[in-house]
Structure 1
């Protein structure tokens, strides 16, 4: 049991660190944001701390917590703007304001660059534990008020003025949502926002996610589809399940398929490399679309005798760095139920983010499309709904979660937030663009659809492999910043 638990923790934390997160548990944590910071980045800026209210909407509650942030004043000149990078569901890094695209914008505009960690993530620990009672202070509404209060109070403490130093908010993925929503709800605080790869439309069931993954991998969809069919055939027999256990290096033999939740978790885990390839293509250390398709395609005349399933297994072992796959649903649930703020799950932000999905956003990435390459309903929405209930309590029902998603969309406007002065960059390869703003909303709110680009790529430092379209997108963003700052 101890060995199994260590395997679960090691694999999920490794995957989270490398690839960000996605709704759900265990293997699911590859996806939406956190944007993966390059491995060779070394933090150079010191930690700074801001006293933030725990509950902004209860005047009788005076409790506070320390919210972490960084400041880069290397390019700042008096009267210049402030570029505020918002972080989402993970620990902050100073990469985006020291090496990323925002550092370049700061140099261009003589701006002060600041990066703000999200409450409950990283070192911005807001409560003694992550019990359900304490998690009620973790919400997008509280986070937006954090941002507004940070801006208003820092304007005074840093000797800035609203007239001479305008604030611009930047964010990617969920933090991109926050960048757009803070402009919507607190326009007095920010003059404009760049909301990169922001899935502003929340969904109870996000079937389109794997639809975009399939489109991004269309050059090798045939062998992927064949491999999926081979997997499903093998799941039907004891001999087949034994073969799967060996091929994919499962931590324990798959002896039965009666535990449907574990089988759903296994299926979800096995298709991770395909999702990561599309979502984070082109980023350092990522096995991208080209590499995945090269690995899945046959060799010359298929001389090596390998099957599509063999190639899938080889690809997955490369992705998982040789770690065995623990698909035990109940063990994953036990790990997620740990309420300690120092547990690996808490440090990786997994218990917190899964709560936000169950309580606000939904965003459950299913294979619910009728013709899904990965198997129609191989990973159904009921699997994710069961997770919410099993981790946080029976009060999380399909009805309560669906209502929460509807409430969130009503609050922020979904695909059509009521905003001005916002840029919405999205990449065509990124599965999350299906929930993003892809057309201009008004004269000052622009949508940038970047062909061949992945999740949040415009926020990263320019690389030699960047397409001309991505390079031009960053130039367009700079032009919009100029307009916002007039």
Structure 2
């Protein structure tokens, strides 16, 4: 997914849709909160900030309007400023009334501000999403946005310059939270980085390895059933009768026999079906509105032999997830997806083109499956995702280009060897993204919390009576960390 005394950077992305309104699973967004913390005396205010387009050439371009929200509900004189940093989706005022950071704000009398990320939501610098415009969509420019925003807000809300800003973030903004403290320590006193991947990686094969481990936390029988189901899916694809069975049981929007020789379509089909498990694992029991199905739910189906063969149970999981997202059929056609992603019209409820550009230009993060003996077969290797970069944006975004830009990102930010102080790195064992994060450190300047049994950004959501003890303990440790750095 950044809002504490110094700079609280939080990722608050909502559901993301494609051009047809279909929900897309990005394997990263943390989503909005489930409920509000308490009755508010004041509604959060929406404001607009005159931001710089290119911080490397601040005078060349006209400024643009960046959206932010502000709440003084819990502020008392002498309190810090919490800044929630938006990520790859529309900023929502719901986060101004909910989430663990609001509890911390009440504890420390903080002024709360959330800043929407450039090119997402209503914060559109150029008016379109052309590849030429998206050259200004980088994490470095986003961090410079934060720095300029804070420097101006200090004049407006902190005339004496004594207030400390704390950054909290979850997911991609969890990375931004850590990097903001690293690059602008004079402005940001400290950060809480939740589920933030610090290591950029083109071939993120570890993602589905963690998915497998997380399914195994239910039982090894679940893992065996999933592996067998994908093997049986491969067999069905080889025969006309089997292909028709796939069409019916998996509720495909287009008959698979017409795509049987199209490797990109088949890769998309397998990646979509595997995504059913990935989405459930990533948000397992995290007390968020999209955490409606759990590992228990899908594994209950996969080990239930009364439902038929493993591939029939796989189809039942797919049906369950289609119903959950209110989709009538599974749309897997590659060209259709590419056409949608080429749409350069700004829409504050859509973000996949922008985030895909960031992965193609900075991070990679492609969740691959490349070997036949893996849980989800070998149907969506890294070349499948690199092909998307080339087809959506530019032929130059090939494998060599991706390796170069990802290497540059790791060099610039330090990857898993950050040069930071006053940053707390928080991850959950169920969350696949912890594989690219800092989960332990011998360096006292880079403290970590690794929560056994929790998923993506679980510590950021509203506390619940159903929270496991390890999560409750982690939230207390975060509060203690904030208290300690506010004293320095």
- TM-score relative to the length of structure 2: 0.90
Given that 1:214 and 1:221 are in contact with CA atoms closer than 8 Å, whether structure 2 keeps it comes out as yes
In 2, the alpha carbon distance for the partners of 1:362 and 1:305 equals 38
Q: Which runs of 5+ in 2 are unaligned?
A: 1-12
Aligned to 2:344: 339
TM-superposed deviation, 1:340: 1.0
Aligned to 1:46: 45
Aligned to 2:91: 92
TM-superposed deviation, 1:159: 3.7
Aligned to 1:187: 185
Given that 2:52 and 2:58 are in contact with CA atoms closer than 8 Å, whether structure 1 keeps it comes out as no
Describe how 1:41-440 pairs up with structure 2 within 5 A. 44-163=43-162, 165-218=163-216, 219=219, 220-255=222-257, 256-282=259-285, 283=287, 284-286=289-291, 287-298=293-304, 302=305, 304=306, 306-321=308-323, 322-342=327-347, 347-368=349-370, 371-375=373-377, 377-440=378-441
In 2, the alpha carbon distance for the partners of 1:225 and 1:420 equals 43
In 1, the alpha carbon distance for the partners of 2:283 and 2:104 equals 23
Deviations 1:129-181 (A, max 9, x none): 11111100000010000001111110111245432x10000110100000000
In 2, the alpha carbon distance for the partners of 1:445 and 1:385 equals 33
Aligned to 1:13: none
TM-superposed deviation, 1:89: 0.2
Deviations 1:421-474 (A, max 9, x none): 001110000000000001135323211000000000111110122110000001
Given that 2:134 and 2:354 are in contact with CA atoms closer than 8 Å, whether structure 1 keeps it comes out as yes
Deviations 1:226-263 (A, max 9, x none): 11111111111111111101001111111141111011
Q: Tell me the number of residue pairs that the alignment of Structure 1 and Structure 2 aligns.
A: 458
2:447 alignment partner, SS class: strand
TM-superposed deviation, 1:116: 0.9
TM-superposed deviation, 1:272: 1.4
In 2, the alpha carbon distance for the partners of 1:160 and 1:196 equals 31
1:103 alignment partner, SS class: helix
2:335 alignment partner, SS class: helix
In 1, the alpha carbon distance for the partners of 2:136 and 2:54 equals 6
In 1, the alpha carbon distance for the partners of 2:22 and 2:457 equals 21
TM-superposed deviation, 1:305: 5.1
1:36 alignment partner, SS class: coil
Which range moves more in the overlay, 441-450 or 62-71?
441-450
TM-superposed deviation, 1:27: 8.8
Given that 2:101 and 2:460 are in contact with CA atoms closer than 8 Å, whether structure 1 keeps it comes out as yes
Quick one: structure 1 residues 27 and 307, their matched pair in 2 at CA, closer, same or farther if it must change by over 3 Å? Answer: farther
Aligned to 1:5: none
Quick one: structure 1 residues 265 and 17, their matched pair in 2 at CA, closer, same or farther if it must change by over 3 Å? Answer: farther
In 1, the alpha carbon distance for the partners of 2:66 and 2:260 equals 45
1:448 alignment partner, SS class: strand
Aligned to 2:4: none
2:45 alignment partner, SS class: coil
TM-superposed deviation, 1:327: 1.1
Given that 1:28 and 1:269 are in contact with CA atoms closer than 8 Å, whether structure 2 keeps it comes out as no
In 2, the alpha carbon distance for the partners of 1:26 and 1:412 equals 36
2:435 alignment partner, SS class: helix
Given that 1:211 and 1:369 are in contact with CA atoms closer than 8 Å, whether structure 2 keeps it comes out as no
In 2, the alpha carbon distance for the partners of 1:313 and 1:52 equals 48
Deviations 1:361-397 (A, max 9, x none): 011110136742111x221111001000000011111
RMSD across aligned positions (CA): 2.1
TM-superposed deviation, 1:276: 1.1
- TM-score relative to the length of structure 1: 0.90
Aligned to 1:33: 28
